Amino acid sequence: MSEENPLQHDAQAPGTTLKATQELLTRAHGELGRVIAGQGEVIGEVLVAVLTQGHALLEGVPGIAKTLIVKSVGRLLGLAFQRVQGTPDLMPADILGTTIFKPGTDAFTFHAGPVFTDLLLVDEINRMPPRTQAALLECMEERQVTSDGVARQLPQWFTVFATQNPIDFEGTYPLPEAQLDRFLLKIKVRYPAADEERQMLERHHGTSVNLLDDAKIQPLTAELLQAARNEIRAIRVEADLYGYILDLVRRTREWPMLALGASPRAAICLLRVAQAFAAFEDRDYIIPDDVKRAVLPVLRHRILLKPEAELEGFDADRVLNDVVAAVAVPRG
């Protein structure tokens, strides 16, 4: 399986170690390939977020299938899906739900909001006011909603996927560092390659507007999904790999071009994502390359560049690549 497309591993090859994970990847490649042209790396990272009980921030310009990718993955995994459109007047109750008086009685009834689902897509999250953004913090961290003093649990597969446009800042409220740190991954969604874009045009010719419904994706079983999650959790980590992860995270805190380095939570996230990448490669142990591959999506939104670094043309990915190059790789 190439790093460019995490879904191209042949799960039927002899000697497969992680059977559930490899079957999931093969099914994902076959089913989603009929809907989405390319974007294999993005789809792989979306699957990582779900399988490791994390959340993901998808950043990309409009019209490059961010919403379609999340909806398609939800359909493949057999999970419930809800979408919220971020607007400046969106209130917390619009997402979480509210307690209303039931006519004819002296009782109040809680009406659950769209957050009570498996996959929640928050489109243009940075257009929501800070109060509404903050309402998601408890959901993302504790996987529960507290209303009128009552804690209500969210589904076990609850995952937030939020999108934002990197070039449109008018009327937006940038996410604070505390909220960014709740996202396991920041996934950059880029333009498709020329051949992928042509394939997309050919698919839409002569089909209905709803390509996802036309594809009739066959959902995976709940047992397969849980088995893949269990395989990822069981991936082995040697002692020197713990040290390597900590060295990378701690080096960001002293890097001269960074005003803010990665948090201890970032080290935990780096470990979880490296385990998922190892499982995607059909290995039951992680190696340094798994950690390196996880660095950009896990850390790019958890660091803050100094103004002078931005003026010199640096961005988060470039600085993180320099950090990775400067940290010694364990030789086990």
pLDDT in tens, 247-259: 999 999 999 999 9
HSE, side-chain direction, 13 A CA sphere, residue 127: 18
Mean pLDDT score, 274-294: 96
pLDDT the model gives residue 2: 40
How sure is the predictor about 7, in pLDDT bands with cuts at 50, 70 and 90? low
| All residues at 6 or more sequence positions from 239 whose CB lies less than 8 Å from its CB, including other chains | none
**What dotted CATH number matches 235-332?**
1.10.8.80
Cα→Cα distances 24→9, 30, 280, Å: 11, 10, 10
Inform me whether the pLDDT recorded for 234 exceeds 80: yes
So what's the architecture of 1-234 in CATH?
Answer: 3-Layer(aba) Sandwich (3.40)
Inform me whether the pLDDT recorded for 4 exceeds 80: no
Which residue has 């993302």 as its token pair? Answer: 140
SS3 308: helix
Which residue has 């419930």 as its token pair? Answer: 80
* 165 and 62 Cβ atoms separated by less than 8 Å: yes
Looking at every residue in the chain, the average pLDDT score rounds to: 88
Inform me whether the pLDDT recorded for 157 exceeds 90: yes
Tell me the per-residue pLDDT of 172-196, one tens digit each, with 9 for 90 and over.
Answer: 788 888 889 999 999 999 988 899 8
Inform me whether the pLDDT recorded for 145 exceeds 60: yes
For the chain, give the percent of residues with pLDDT over 70. 92
Domain spans, the chain: 1-234, 235-332
Terminal C-alpha separation, the chain: 23
* 32 and 303 Cβ atoms separated by less than 8 Å: no
Mean pLDDT score, 13-37: 84
Cα→Cα distances 164→85, 182, 223, Å: 11, 16, 33
pLDDT the model gives residue 209: 65
| All residues at 6 or more sequence positions from 194 whose CB lies less than 8 Å from its CB, including other chains | none
The two beta strands, 81-85 and 119-123, are parallel
Nearest 5°: phi and psi at 279? -65, -35
Nearest 5°: phi and psi at 11? -70, -15
Residue 303 exposed, middle or buried by CB count within 10 Å (0-12, 13-18, 19+): buried
